[in-house]
Amino acid sequence: MKWHVFTFAYFVNTLFPAETRWPEGFFYLEEFISEVEEKKLYDEIVKMDLHPLLFHGYEARRKVASFGYDWNFQKRVLTRGKEIPGAFRFLIEKVAEKISISPDGFGELLITEYPVGSVINWHRDAPPFDIIAGTSLLAGCTFRFRPYGKLRQNRKEIISLRLNPRSLYWMKGLARSHWEHSIPAVNQLRYSITLRTLK
């Protein structure tokens, strides 16, 4: 496995690179799961009945299936939903060990299907959740951060990272509270598995 150092060099009207740090509380690890594990997870997902995500009355292009606790964007309430399928237990345990929490600490498992062209607009995850962890299947995506708060929202403040297939990211603390994130349009079919702990 290869850790990413959360700095990157870029040119700003000069020939000399400058360093920018990732938001505090954000972590990324490549090749977290194997190709065999990826296929095992994908084979379970294709059996599921995914449905369009409804977000404030708008039907997003992506499809989802939620297990454990579920946040209703229309009513802004957290409810207990379907039990997390046992087929995902090995992933939950693997993620929990990596980020040093109990496997039972995860309150939600969310499956998301991203068809070509689908996006996630700027947002922070729902308030009842704390630590967010996710892995990509089949294809990667660009994951972008910008500070939360309109006074600091400009293009110079945006930080981008490529999330590769089978990688793991997780965020907590300031990365959750002081930053928001988005995913621009994907150019390949992608699935993600997101795990969330409750506050």
Q: What is the mean pLDDT of residues 126-133?
A: 94
pLDDT digits (tens, 9 = 90+) for 7-37: 333 333 333 344 447 899 999 999 999 999 9
pLDDT, residue 61, reads: 83
pLDDT digits (tens, 9 = 90+) for 42-79: 999 999 999 887 765 566 789 999 999 987 666 667 77
Instruction: Give the domain range for residue 127.
Output: 2-198
**Nearest-CA neighbor of 196 among 117, 78, 116?**
78
Query: Which CATH number is 88's domain given?
Result: 2.60.120.590
Tally of domains in the chain: 1
**Rounded distance between C-alpha atoms, residue 197 and residue 162, angstroms:** 24
**Nearest-CA neighbor of 99 among 170, 197, 194?**
170
Residue 151 predicted with pLDDT over 60: no
Length of the chain: 199
- For residue 58, the cross-strand partners are 55
